[in-house]
Structure 1
Amino acid sequence: MPKHGKKYEEAAKLIEADKLYDLDEAVELVKKTASAKFDETVEVAVKLGVDPKHADQQVRGAVVLPFGTGKTKRVVVFAKGEKSKEAEQAGADFVGAEDLVEKIQGGWVDFDVAVATPDMMGMVGRLGKILGPRGLMPNPKVGTVTLDLTRAINEIKAGKIQYRTDKAGNIHAPIGKASFDSEKLLKNFQTLIDTLIKVKPAAAKGQYLRSITVSTTMGPGIPVNTLKAPGKKE
């Protein structure tokens, strides 16, 4: 087992063993466990009762957090003509077509989200081996392949995050920074969980929200009471 540092151990002492915290308690506590010199990201890990091996049980999408993530995302847009002008006016950090594809093929991936108009996807497809493993490939399911570039860019800049089950059925997502006040973290947390509940696959059987844990970048996990999760029917 890896040995944790003194700050982590001190933070871990704040968490009661075997206790499942109500959401508001967990949010208050996670702020207290942030001990790094930088503003740590507050992250949520959700274990879902799904089998991602089956296409009809995969959970994937995007949601705009009401108070953002505390990080300004760098957005690249693959577009031509009037659409490239629209992207620039909407605040895209980089806009291009063949030139942008070549730049990325040359090793440049200094961005957080890629957006493309549908007509550009044939060209963008060449970048699958580069963008795919990094989770940067534009996808219509999360709104990053679209003709409405203004809306897509505005939502991303405002705090839109993507979520996707991993091979074990877990969702990992940021909900803000430790410097956020509790109310903002709580609202972002609720928005994420509400969204996951709404997109529950019809094929998923049994308990859907198996476990929820909240933590900071460098801190210990705080288990949340799933029976009192937002949107959960008592």
Structure 2
Amino acid sequence: MFRGKNYKESAKLVDRAQLYDAVDAFGVVINASKAKFDETVELHIKLGVDSRHADQQVRGAIVLPHGTGKTRKVLVFCKEERQKEALDAGADYVGAQDMVDKIQKENFFDYDVVVATPDMMGVVGRLGKILGPKGLMPTPKAGTVTPNLAQAIQEIKAGKIEYRLDKTNIIHCPIGKVSFGVDKLVDNYTTLISAIIRAKPSAAKGQYIKSCVTASTMGPGVKINAMKQL
């Protein structure tokens, strides 16, 4: 894989054999950030579970104390009598069958999170094959199927993120921007990693957190000693 000059210079700052404490890890990530924009900082956490088994799924949602640094657009499915409530709470788009049609016919995807009231799931379910592969299908576990629209919207706008395993048993999550500085990134990291630890399935055997790597958008990966959280 081709790596640019900036990446190669940044990579020199990382000891790939070392497991860093969180404070040191995020310090390295910030120092290694060479892009001309405010890079997103992500966590990539490999777990010792098998996502093919229902009893070993790890999924949930958490509000990061300092948000992600990104304004997230929210689409809400609800009955007409609650649409003003959703808009007043900060929803970017609100609808019912009309929004289903817009997604199906116009390939409309100008949103980051989809929220639905329980009584709308019969309608929203028709979008499963479209929203599901994009990770946008609302679910009760993520708090995106709920009668409490205002609370759900406000939490998402405040920095609520969903974490879930991919097919390789890795969770990928943004936890902020380089401009946040070390302290805020550590706070967000601690909140997320603690939630993942609490979500450990009872069926999981052996070492739960196999590895934890943080990196900025354009920067090299830095290994964190996440076992300190256990």
Question: Scaled by the length of structure 2, what TM-score is found?
Answer: 0.97
Q: How big is the shift at 1:225?
A: 1.4
In 2, Cα distance between the equivalents of 1:21 and 1:219? 16
Read off the aligned partner of 2:178 and give its amino acid letter: A
The aligned amino acid for 1:212 is C
Which amino acid in the other structure matches residue 221 of structure 1? G
Query: 1:198: Cα distance to partner?
Result: 0.5
Structure-2 residue corresponding to 1:120: 120
Residue 196 (structure 1) shift: 0.4
State the match for 2:149 in structure 1: 149
Give 1:202 shift.
Answer: 0.4
**2:6 matched to which residue of 1?**
7
Q: 2-side partners of 1:44 and 1:226: how far apart?
A: 11
Mapped contact 2:11–2:32 kept (Cα < 8 A) = yes
Q: Deviations over 1:170-213 (max 9, x none)?
A: 11000000111211101000000000000100000111111100
Q: What is the SS of the residue equivalent to 1:140?
A: coil
Deviates more, 1:80-89 or 1:11-20: 80-89
TM-score under structure 1 length normalisation: 0.96
Q: Tell me, in whole angstroms, the C-alpha distance in 2 between the residues paired with 1:220 and 1:204.
A: 30
User: Once the 2 structures are TM-superposed, how far is the Cα of residue 36 of structure 1 from its aligned partner?
Assistant: 1.2
The 8 Å contact of residues 20 and 225 in structure 2, kept in 1 or not, is answered as yes
- The corresponding residue for 1:75 is 74
Please give the alpha-carbon distance, in whole angstroms, between the structure 2 residues aligned to 1:115 and 1:150. Answer: 10
Offset from partner CA, 1:57-110 (integer Å, 9 cap, x none): 010111100000000000010011332121111010011111111111121111
Give the deviation of 1:37 after TM superposition: 1.4
Output aligned runs, 1:30-179, within 5 Å.
Answer: 30-106=29-105, 107-179=107-179
Q: Partner of 2:210 in structure 1? A: 210
5 Å-filtered alignment, 1:8-23, equals: 8-23=7-22
Equivalenced residues, count: 229
Report the secondary structure of 1:56's partner residue.
helix
Q: Equivalents in 1 of 2:61, 2:141: separation in Å?
A: 8
How far apart are 1:17 and its partner, in Å? Answer: 3.4
What residue in structure 1 maps to residue 181 of structure 2? 181
Asked whether the equivalents of residues 14 and 222 of structure 2 are also in contact (C-alpha less than 8 Å), the reply is yes
CA distance in 1, matches of 2:199, 2:16: 32
CA distance in 2, matches of 1:115, 1:214: 29
Alpha-carbon distance between aligned partners in 1 of 2:144 and 2:9, rounded to the nearest angstrom: 42
Structure 2 residues not aligned, in runs of 5+: none
Regions of 4+ moved over 3 Å: none
* TM-fit CA distance, 1:149: 0.2
Indicate if the aligned counterparts of 2:46 and 2:171 stay in contact, CA closer than 8 A: yes
